[in-house]
Amino acid sequence: MGGDSSERLQRAIFLDRYAAKTPVVADATVFNRQKTGPHAQEVGKVVAIRNMTATVNWSDFSTSEQDVRDLFGLLETEPEQMWRRVAKAIASVEPNEEFRKFWEERFYLLLAGFPYVPGGRIQAGAGIQANLTFGNCFVIPSPRDSRGGIVDTLKTQAEIMARGGGVGFDISSLRPQGAAVRGVNGTSSGPVDFLNLYSTMTGIIEQAGSRRGAEMGTIHDWHPDLMRFISAKSEDEHFINHANLSVLVSDAFMQAVKDNAEWVFRFPDTTAPGYNEAWTGDLDAWTTAGGPVIEYDHMPARKVWTAISEFAHRRGEPGVIFIDTVLRESTTNANYKGARKEVSTNPCGEQPLPPFGVCNLGALNLASFVRGHEVDLEALAEMAKVAVRFQDNVIDASYYPLPENEEWAKKERRVGLGVMGLADMLIKMGLRYGSDKSLQVADDVFRTIRDAAYTASCDLAEEKGAFPTFDVEGYMQSAFVQRLPEAIKERIHQHGIRNITLLTVAPTGTTSLLAGVSSGIEPVFRFRTLRKDALGEHVILHPLAEAWQAEHPDEALPDYFVSAEQLSPEQHVKMQATAQRYIDASISKTVNAPNNHTVEDVQRLFTFAYKAGCKGCTYFRDGSTQEVVLREAAQPAKQEQAATTEDEFVELQSRPTKMLGRAYTVQTPFGSMTLDIHEITPGEPFEVFVNIGAAASDLNADAITIGRLASAMLRMDSRITPARRLDIIIDKLKDIRLARGTGTSPAAQMGTRGTTWDPGSGLGD
């Protein structure tokens, strides 16, 4: 499953996240979760416990004293034990003992060796006596536009997150900043400030004892506070830093951008009779019912589009969700004829959901279905059918945080069967990700999964019944359902279908690491990466690349070993759009772009994704200020050094071939100083060059050194903007002075010649 570092990480993830746990007592088998130290992330046996210190015999036959707070007691030490536990738990909801035994064995074969990997909540919780939900994806109703409603949403969010679920909701229901609040004779803080409150709660809650909560906040394009929402994370690095942000973009807005028309920001008249009872955040429903609307402001739609693209370019947020595409394709919206529809998505965006909607996740490992240079589509289809039954059973086996979650989960029986290892599948086949041939193969794979999943759900409907709220007349109107094969549509007409939605593509970050393959439908990020997580820093060597180089030690990797940064952003979108044709929910996919990508490029990319039929687009430009989990690890000089690179790792943004530049000449006590500032994004310095005096002088060497050190700080990945970093550099240097009274401090700025020098002059322009 890869080099030593990859196997070690896989085992550490299994023991930390998914192995069944027990209290740490004498004779317990334990896992040391420490990030560093001689026995970090190792398994041992507790010999004795005194106060909070355990004496542990480790697997290398050594013994040490360990703080019990760093230890997990283990009931499982191998994945086989987890697979058996999960298979038995999920089969336990079958109607009789014969079925339970049969499906337990089938589910075990589904899991063993990772051809299929359930969502992390299922692996961690199934068969364990704990009130943890097996659902990964939740959306809750938009907050009621009142103090009580805002607090109720906070409580609902906290309860779901504490049980292991990720939460999304739309904040368009909250009145704009500055709007009157008559009950207290005051004004509203606006939805963005309240979203920061929800984000803070997300950062506080630890999910199921192992990870921080996750949240998605969305807003409609018509909301008067849209522009503040778009720029929210650039105001303060600590503002809304535990939530993902996406704009719900409508067809009408995209048409206004195309036509270069004005865009009007609107909100219901909060003084209208019945507002408090009727307003839920659905502007279409409000206006259809005759509710009055106030127009707050307007601006060219292209200016709004530019702002969305600019901040996505700068920070990787907000993302865009094409909400009308979602609703047009939606089986949910069709089934209820618009009376119940998707209002937001889960934190990673792959599940648009209605209020109190719930979905569990699982992924077929596509790399495991390659035979020679072909995909075994027949085996893939059979595995997909078993996976649908598995995930349908999860609905009945799961604990639910709220009664409303359980009610809607069982009324709609929503599951999200997805994939992982697409990039590895293509590498095994010798195909370059993003090529025409790779798109053709992906088309075949996703069509096979769709048809198998819908066939299995029809089989389950005949055996166990359709989902309780199934309405054949409405359901069949979904644009997605209309594209199904005629034979499947006929079966749905006759017997219904078991699950209101069946398919998704989740990011599968940790679970794909556990299985040793690439995540979701993403290309390989890089073939050598440094991952930072709760278990510390890990150099990850891609197993297929490592194996190929072992056989070809003096050759470069073939071109089908392509990383995310080597693809054009359009190639990323084409793969997403190919998969989306066969996915009834949505797709979590990051479109990676080079550092020199422009704001105009982002606008074109988002428009391309919209026209290609994607339901959303998440963008990340190399070198933007958003923090990332994976980074490129330094390549060792020799292949045999591959496992010892943590100390070699330094991450600086790559230097593009073209940048904006400004030059200054500043008079100093020692002569003219030349200062060159280069930028990629206007207002964000990328590097600084300083020269003063004679070229070979000690003074000029010092100036060059300061410039290089400042440039290194500016080029490092950080959540602090480059402009702010430059302010910090200036602040740290401004009080330095020479013994003779010259230097950069305020007192020293009056040199022997009476000349003043402001070290920050021009830098903040």
In the chain the first and final C-alpha atoms are separated, in Å, by 52
In this prediction the pTM is: 0.82
- Name beta bridge partners: 51: none
| Helical H segments across 353-435, by residue range | 377-397, 403-412, 422-428
DSSP state of 484: S
Q: What are phi and psi of 646, to 5 degrees?
A: -55, -40
Helix, coil or strand: residue 426: helix
The predicted structure's pLDDT at residue 168:
97
Mean pLDDT of the chain: 88
The predicted structure's pLDDT at residue 682:
63
Among residues 160, 163, 189, 185, the alpha carbon closest in space to that of 176 is found at: 189
Annotated catalytic residues are 346, 348, 350
CA–CA distance, 264 with 266 (Å, rounded to integer): 6
CA–CA distance, 750 with 756 (Å, rounded to integer): 5
- 234's enclosing H/E stretch is helix 232-235
Q: Give the pair of three-digit tokens for residue 619.
A: 């963008």
pLDDT under 70: residue ranges of the chain: 1-5, 206-212, 235, 625-658, 680-683, 693-696, 717-721, 724, 731-732, 734-765
**Edge-to-edge, what's the strand order for the sheet holding 630-632?**
536-541, 528-533, 630-632
Say if residues 227 and 235 touch (Cβ distance below 8 Å): no
- Name beta bridge partners: 359: 137
- Output the CA torsion sign for 101, 109, 118, 325: negative
The predicted structure's pLDDT at residue 5:
61
Among residues 369, 203, 227, the alpha carbon closest in space to that of 306 is found at: 227
Measured CA angle at 6 (ends 5, 9), to 5 deg:
85
Q: DSSP assignment of 152-192, as one string? A: HHHHHHHHHHHTT-EEEEE-TTSPPTT-EEGGGTEE---HH
Distances (CA, A) of 583 to 156, 257, 416, 591, 751: 29, 28, 9, 18, 70
The predicted structure's pLDDT at residue 752:
31
Among residues 329, 312, 331, 328, the alpha carbon closest in space to that of 320 is found at: 312
The predicted structure's pLDDT at residue 259:
98
Helix, coil or strand: residue 250: coil
Say if residues 495 and 463 touch (Cβ distance below 8 Å): no
- Name beta bridge partners: 29: 45, 74
The predicted structure's pLDDT at residue 653:
65
Greatest C-alpha distance within the chain: 97
State pLDDT tens for residues 256-295. 999 999 999 999 999 999 999 999 999 999 999 999 999 9
The predicted structure's pLDDT at residue 760:
34
Among residues 325, 307, 251, the alpha carbon closest in space to that of 602 is found at: 307
Helix, coil or strand: residue 205: coil
Left if phi > 0, otherwise alpha if psi is -120 to 50, otherwise beta: which for 490?
alpha
